[in-house]
Amino acid sequence: MSQLVQYDAEHCFHPFSNYHDLNNKGARMIERAEGIYVYDENGHEMLDAMSGLWCTNLGYSCEPLVEAATEQLKKLPYYNLFFQTTHPPAAKLSKLLAEITPEGLNHVFFTGSGSECNDTVIRMVRYYWSTLGKEDKRTIISRKNAYHGSTIAGASLGGMSAMHKQTAGVVPDIVHIDQPYGFGECEDGDLQAFGLERARQLEAKILELGEDKVAAFIAEPIQGAGGVIIPPESYWPEIQRICDKYEILLVIDEVICGFGRTGEWFASETYNIRPDLLCMAKGITSGYLPLGGVMVRDNVADVLISANSEFAHGFTYSGHPAACAVAIANINEMQSRNIIAELKETIAPYFAEKWQELSEHPLVGEARVKGMVAAIELVSDKTTNTRYKKELEVGMKCRDNCIKSGLIMRAVGDTMIVSPPLIITKKEIDLLIERAKKALDTTLDSL
Ligand SMILES: *Cc1c(COP(=O)(O)O)cnc(C)c1O
């Protein structure tokens, strides 16, 4: 253990970590990055197929983002949006976001993170219904295995059982229905029927609770942290139909899917979803500085404006000027470099084709991909899709082998997931697949 790793082990409690392991083994020290590669303190190169935590969409060397932050820090390093003040980056970015987000979303509430977006969602949804005199419309329906952040409210909205166990699932009036996880939970292989069945659980839950009690439904278009769960095509149209039929706000958490991840600016376009509230973070600044935002549809915004009372909510760093300046530069880069069009036409189809090659590997039961998110399911028998025993921790082994082969791929149980930077080239995709195959081979040999 180097001295710095030692300091870290002795003094730093990390997110989502086992402190016993961390103290014994020490953390991996990432020292620098270039393009889509990160380097540890020993100079070991790793192609970062997770874009950090689903966020460094433009890679690690985007100079205009650095310049935007630097210039803004020199001009106005901090001011807030409280009590009727604003600053140029917040004003410019809100206008820009109204332009690039789906039609009808024209107001933004800035936050510092995705979790804060979802806290804001709970506050805003309840403020909306109480303004309309419907105080009883309070319950928010979410899904098992959803990830909506790690504040108490975010974790309660989310459906991660490990988080709920650690007293996070305590915010009242939140209920969860099943997820549309085809590989894991569809028994007869009829994915479209399965998608409809899972969507109709929303209708059943609304009828069970009573329409006058249900405020909103929240979901990620594709569940990210839950294991890149890509819903069957039948799922979203049915969810939209149900939200339209009953008076339920539809909240789309695009913290991962927004800003090009699925091949459109927003996955709401990819899946033809009409969100009332849309959460953004991560890719909004390519991760260079922390920022989040909740977009609000016009009809909801009108009600909040008509309330003509103070919405008693906000964060010190809501719309931080340097973060907003980076977000503006990030959007400008995506537009001037035509990144979304390039993705749609060339990079995403190429990535999909190469990723599918992994399904031929003896360890892989399924390879799935949408835009620039993808997963493979590790199995012991691919004719029956039988899983390995949990204790074997095959996913973890595979992840460690990926790191050795120079690839950052994440394990969610025995599901391996990636979310590569949107600027990845065809050549780099080839390298990603080559390193993934090598890690799969090594993993298989060790079993
Ligand atoms: C990461 C994530 C969040 C939480 O964002 P933070 O910035 O970590 O608070 C919320 N929702 C989704 C879908 C996420 O992936």
Percentage helix, strand, coil for the chain under 3-state DSSP, each rounded to 5: 45, 15, 35
CATH 3.90.1150.10: which residues of the chain? 3-61+338-446
Is the CB–ligand 1 distance for residue 113 below 6 Å? yes
pLDDT at 433: 98
pLDDT of residue 170: 82
pLDDT one digit per residue (tens) for the chain, 447 residues = 899 999 999 999 999 999 998 888 899 999 999 999 999 999 999 999 999 999 999 999 999 999 999 999 999 999 999 999 999 999 999 999 999 999 999 999 999 999 999 999 999 999 999 999 999 999 999 999 999 999 999 999 999 999 999 976 689 999 999 999 999 999 999 999 999 999 999 999 999 999 999 999 999 999 999 999 999 999 999 999 999 999 999 999 999 999 999 999 999 999 999 999 999 999 999 999 999 999 999 999 999 999 999 999 999 999 999 999 999 999 999 999 999 999 999 999 999 999 999 999 999 999 999 999 999 999 999 999 999 999 999 999 999 999 999 999 999 999 999 999 999 999 999 999 999 999 999 999 999
Which residue's CA lies nearest to atom 5 of ligand 1?
A: 114
The ligand 1 atom at the shortest distance from the C-alpha of residue 112 is 7
Ligand 1, closest atom to CA 116? 9
CATH classification number, 64-336, choose in 3.40.1390.10, 3.40.640.10, 3.40.50.300, 3.90.230.10: 3.40.640.10
CB of 398 closer than 8 Å to CB of 439:
yes
Write the Ramachandran bin of 368: left for phi over 0, alpha for psi from -120 to 50, otherwise beta: beta
Burial 185-202 (b: 16+ CB within 10 A, else e): ebeeeebeebbbbbbebb
Please give the pLDDT value at position 430: 98
Distance from the alpha carbon of residue 255 to the mean position of ligand 1, in angstroms: 6
CATH of domain 3-61+338-446: 3.90.1150.10
Check residue 40 and give its pLDDT: 97
Q: Are 59 and 37 in contact (CB under 8 A)?
A: no
The answer, yes or no, to whether any atom of ligand 1 lies below 6 A from the CB of 115, is yes
Return the ligand 1 atom nearest residue 151 CA. 9
Question: How much is the pLDDT for 1?
Answer: 86
Pocket test for ligand 1, best of 14, 148, 259, 318 (most atoms within 8 A of CB): 148
CA of residue 352 to ligand 1 center, whole Å:
25
46 ligand 1 Cβ < 6 A: no
For residue 44, the CA-to-ligand 1 centroid distance in Å is 28
Q: What is the pLDDT of residue 353?
A: 98
CA-to-CA dists, residue 307 to 84, 232, 302, 310, 417, angstroms: 17, 39, 9, 8, 44
CATH 3.40.640.10 occupies which residues in the chain?
A: 64-336
The predicted pLDDT at position 22 comes to: 85
What lies within 8 Å, CB to CB, of 16 at 6+ separation is none
By the 10 Å C-beta count (0-12 exposed, 13-18 middle, 19+ buried), 182 is classed as: buried
- Give residue 142 CA to ligand 1 midpoint distance, Å: 15
Q: Which residues, at least 6 apart from 331, have a Cβ–Cβ distance to it below 8 Å? A: 96, 100
251 Cβ below 6 A of ligand 1? no
Rg over alpha carbons for the chain, rounded to the nearest Å, is: 22
Question: How many angstroms separate the alpha carbon of residue 441 from the centre of ligand 1?
Answer: 32
Check the CA dihedral 321-327-330-331 and report its sign: negative
